[in-house]
Amino acid sequence: MSGKPSFYITTPIYYVNDIPHIGHAYTTLACDYLARFKRLDGFDVMFLTGTDEHGQKVEKSAAAAGKSPLEFCDEVSQRFRELAEFMNFSNDDFIRTTEERHKKACQALWKRLEENGHIYLDKYAGWYSVRDEAFFGENELIEGEGGEKLAPTGAPIEWVEEESYFFRLSAFEDKLLAFYEELPATVLPRSRKNEVKSFVEGGLRDLSVSRTSFNWGVPVPGNDKHIMYVWIDALTNYMTAAGYPDEDGEMYKKFWPADIHMMGKDILRFHALYWPAFLMGAGLDPAKRVFAHGWWTNEGQKISKSLGNVIDPFQIVEEFGLDQVRYFLMREVPFGNDGDFSRHSMINRINSDLANDLGNLAQRSLSMIFKNCDGAMPSPGDLSDADETILAEVEALLPKVREHIDVQAIHKSLETIWKVVSNANVYFAGEEPWALKKTDPDRMATVLYVTAEVIRQIGILIQPIMPDSAAKLLDQLKIPAEERGFDQLGGDHRLASGTAMDKPEGVFPRFLDK
Ligand code: MSP
């Protein structure tokens, strides 16, 4: 086992009743960005994603498609794997809840809860929404257009009356409230934490955790008439992938408790309330943080299948480019807030931040080096104040960016980097190396060297967000693969003068709208 610190980050596992859309791509992309950042920053990372394949909703969707549940799951789960590959996600594992390892983990966790006296058999009578896979109290329901009762999400509900196992959630109110305050930020953003806290403060009822009216799920150990509630099954995936129930295993010891469970705001309650309560009940540690991000709308409208405005990640990447889409999604909206997807803002970001700011700076400076410095990295002369200032700025970036990453302020991490890109442009324009070519070639060489060095460090820092483009920039600068970690940032690892360069090619093309 390496001596590196560990970092375990998870996406929600995606329902297979739907094909992947922008919402799924967004959650996983955020995790990919954080996971890649941590790897470059010296952590031993485990990044998990996967598919949530059990439950009544999936059983119904499979039947509607005329397939067996497993056949149906195999196909849709595969689409999610393809998305991960297509979007260049660096997940270390892909879990499916239909796997044997997962069944084992679920049953072990259940037994622990039962042994600890937190599960009892009773009868459930109440409202259930299959679409949300959630139970609702009468007081939570809303009225539909025709006066019908609906779940708070607008989903149809049905009255359910059946024998069911219950989890003693009501016994965990105080423990949960204490847990939210125990670590500095168990739930982020802060407003979300307050939302969860008030819900708990309002009082918790015991939770029905098994169903007898369908079969597609993990059987309750010792009573296979009962299938585990799909959320207890789904949430356990995070432990399965860490090797549970092998609590003495290397994986478990290294990676549990997880550092971050990432998800959209709609499923925060399951992660910040049920899940820590289950784990506490089993005598296990809850994850150190859950982060709930916002939702995307499309050109100002709620995204929904019925409106036909679902954004297909495969299609937008085809049109705008992979790294461009990755950058846009992470940069455009303060992470945690809702955001709007529009063609206009996408094109704007591509052309201003990428093509104009970073792309031009790199292309202009590297072309000048290739043409005017005998095709090799020049040697700098004495550094001026302006040279020192821009180098100091880029060399001070890592701790600042890290601070934002530590609280998942993803947009701010990028904003901080791009502030230096913008200052580097001001520096470059102010020094006018093209004019120095005739008047002072040595000074020109210094300016080009300093600019290239800034690009080297920016190139290293943007690997998590735009892995392919960053690699192209670093290739052009002839930086070997093993010299691309964050330990290579700072003044001790500056570019070697004399390295032969190739004719550079633009890395960030302008997007020309038809
Ligand atoms: N299967 C459950 C999660 C179980 S985790 C133990 C589930 N799956 S899901 O496929 O419906 O949703 C997964 C994620 O997609 C959620 O984080 C959700 O917030 C996100 N999104 C779905 N639509 C979205 C947008 N329009 N915008 C941003 N994210 C959205 O819930």
Q: pLDDT category, 485, cuts 50, 70, 90?
A: very high
Confidence of residue 84 (pLDDT cuts 50, 70, 90): very high
**pLDDT (mean) for 194-212:** 94
Ligand 1 atom nearest to CA at 266:
19
Q: How far is the CA of 252 from the centre of ligand 1 (A)?
A: 26
The residue with tokens 């609590």 is 247
Ligand 1 center to 118 CA (angstroms) = 29
Residue 371, in any domain of the structure: yes
Q: Say if residues 16 and 53 touch (Cβ distance below 8 Å).
A: yes
Euclidean distance between CA atoms 191 and 209, whole angstroms: 29
- Residue 457 in any domain: the answer is yes
Q: Name every residue whose Cβ is closer than 8 Å to that of residue 414 and which is 6 or more positions away in sequence.
A: 327, 330, 331, 465
Mean pLDDT for 188-193 is 93
The answer to whether 23 and 295 have CB atoms below 8 angstroms apart is: yes
Q: How many domains is the chain built from? A: 1
Report if residue 155 sits inside a domain. Answer: no
Separation between Cα atoms, residue 207 and residue 196, nearest integer Å:
16
Sheet holding 158-167, edge to edge: 134-136, 119-129, 158-167, 207-208
| pLDDT score of 47 more than 80 | yes
Distance 471 CA to ligand 1 centre (A): 31
Residue 443 domain flag: yes
Question: From ligand 1's centre to the CA of 265, what distance in Å?
Answer: 9
H helices present in 321-440, as ranges: 322-331, 343-349, 360-372, 385-395, 397-406, 410-431, 433-439
Instruction: Return the ligand 1 atom nearest residue 27 CA.
Output: 17
Q: Which residues pair with 341 in a beta bridge?
A: 298
State which residues form the domain around 367: 343-493
Nearest-atom number in ligand 1 for the CA of 275 is: 6
Which atom of ligand 1 lies closest to the CA of 303? 26
Q: Which two tokens stand for residue 352?
A: 């201003």
Q: Please compute, for residue 403, the number of CA atoms within 13 A of its CA located in the half-sphere on the CB side.
A: 8
Give domain status of residue 156, yes or no.
Answer: no
Check pLDDT > 90 for residue 214. Answer: no
pLDDT of residue 417: 98
Residue 263 alpha carbon to ligand 1 centre in Å: 7
Whichever domain contains 481, its CATH number is 1.10.730.10
Residue 12 CA, ligand 1 centroid: distance in Å:
7
**Token pair for residue 477?**
């600068």
Q: What percent of the chain has pLDDT over 90?
A: 90
Pocket test for ligand 1, best of 230, 267, 268, 329 (most atoms within 8 A of CB): 267
The residue whose CA has the least distance to atom 14 of ligand 1 is: 24
Residues with CB under 6 A from ligand 1: 12-15, 23-24, 26-27, 52, 234-235, 263-264, 266-267, 295-296, 303
Q: What is the pLDDT of residues 99-138, one digit of tens each?
A: 999 999 999 999 999 999 999 999 989 899 988 888 898 8
The distance from CA 224 to its chain's CA centroid, rounded to whole angstroms, is 36
pLDDT of residue 336: 97
Q: What is the pLDDT of residue 352?
A: 97
User: What is residue 129's three-state secondary structure?
Assistant: strand
> What's the CA-to-centroid distance between 11 and ligand 1, angstroms?
9
- What pLDDT was estimated at residue 225? 96
Torsion angles phi and psi, residue 292, rounded to 5: -110, 115
Q: Is residue 35 part of a domain?
A: no
Asked if residue 411 is part of any domain, the answer here is yes
Tell me what the mean pLDDT of segment 304-332 comes to. Answer: 94
Instruction: Report the range of poorest mean pLDDT among 153-162, 312-321, 461-470, 496-505.
Output: 153-162
CA 257 remoteness from chain centre: 18
Distance CA 219, CA 237 (A): 16
Mutate to test the pocket of ligand 1, among 295, 330, 340 (most ligand atoms within 8 A of CB): 295
Q: What is the pLDDT of residue 360?
A: 97
CA contacts within 13 A on the Cβ side of 29: 28
Summarize the confidence of residues 66-74 as an average pLDDT: 95
pLDDT digits (tens, 9 = 90+) for 409-430: 999 999 999 999 999 999 999 9
Question: Residue 222 contacts by C-beta under 8 Å, 6 or more apart in sequence?
Answer: none
pLDDT surpasses 60 at 1: no
Reference 97, options 4, 257, 268, 230; nearest CA is 230
381 in a structural domain: yes
Q: Which atom of ligand 1 is nearest to the CA of 264?
A: 19
In the reported structure, the alpha carbon of residue 24 is separated from the centroid of ligand 1 by a whole-number distance in angstroms of 6
Q: What is the mean pLDDT of the chain?
A: 95
Supply the pTM of this predicted model: 0.95
Task: Give me 384's structure tokens.
Answer: 């001026």
Q: Whose CA is nearest to atom 23 of ligand 1?
A: 23
Q: pLDDT value at position 307?
A: 85
- For residue 227, the Cα-to-chain-centroid distance in whole angstroms is 30
Per-residue model confidence as pLDDT tens digits over 359-405:
999 999 999 999 999 999 999 999 999 999 999 999 999 999 999 99
Residue among 21, 52, 305 whose CB has most ligand 1 atoms within 8 A, to mutate: 52
Q: 304 CA to middle of ligand 1, Å?
A: 13
